[in-house]
Amino acid sequence: MGSLFAVSVAPDDLSLDSLAFVGDAVYTLYFRLKTLPQAHRRAGYQHNIVKDYVSAPGQKKALEEVEGLLDEEEREIVRRGYNSIGSKKHGDDEDYRMATALEVLIGHLFLEGRVNRIKDLLERVI
């Protein structure tokens, strides 16, 4: 990712909400960049493509797609994200809780510098 996105904070030093905040940004940027060729220079059209991936139902579907590929540590991060206070902002909304869990995982992997792992997982989604 180069020095533009260089950070020197350990993911374990952050709250789950902060990890989800970072994960959401990374996840959204990934799909915005990935769908550029399909958009044919039309931002509105691209938005319609991307929203299916970055919505809570889309992120829930993405997590379901990659769950079987996660190692034990990654599953624990997902579990913590799913049960976080931030994931319960919308009550027992399963889509929102799973979306938050995925965002926490992506944020954690990103801050660990594991962008290739993020790429491996998200390529299964698109």
Buried b (16+ CB within 10 A) or exposed e, 17-54: bbbbebbbebbbebbbebbeeebeeeeeebeeebeebb
In the structure encoding, which two tokens stand for residue 94, read together? Answer: 């399963």
Q: Which structural domain range is residue 105 located in? A: 12-122
Q: Tell whether 89 is covered by a domain.
A: yes
Q: Tell whether 3 is covered by a domain.
A: no
Residue 2 has pLDDT above 80, yes or no: no
Specify whether 93 is catalytic. Answer: no
Q: Tell whether 114 is covered by a domain.
A: yes
Give me the chain's average pLDDT, please: 88
In the structure encoding, which two tokens stand for residue 88, read together? Answer: 């319960």
| Cβ within 8 Å of residue 51, ≥6 positions away | 58
Whichever domain contains 30, its CATH number is: 1.10.1520.10
Identify the CA nearest to 14 among candidates 110, 91, 123, 122.
110
Residue range 34-85, pLDDT digits in tens: 887 776 767 776 777 788 888 899 999 999 999 999 999 999 999 999 998 8
pTM of the complete model beyond 0.75: yes
pLDDT at position 89 is 77
Q: Tell whether 91 is covered by a domain.
A: yes
Q: Tell whether 4 is covered by a domain.
A: no
Q: Tell whether 2 is covered by a domain.
A: no
The single residue of 12, 13, 17, 24 carrying the catalytic annotation is 24
Q: Tell whether 49 is covered by a domain.
A: yes
Number of domains in the chain: 1
Q: Tell whether 7 is covered by a domain.
A: no
Higher per-residue pLDDT: 39 or 121: 121
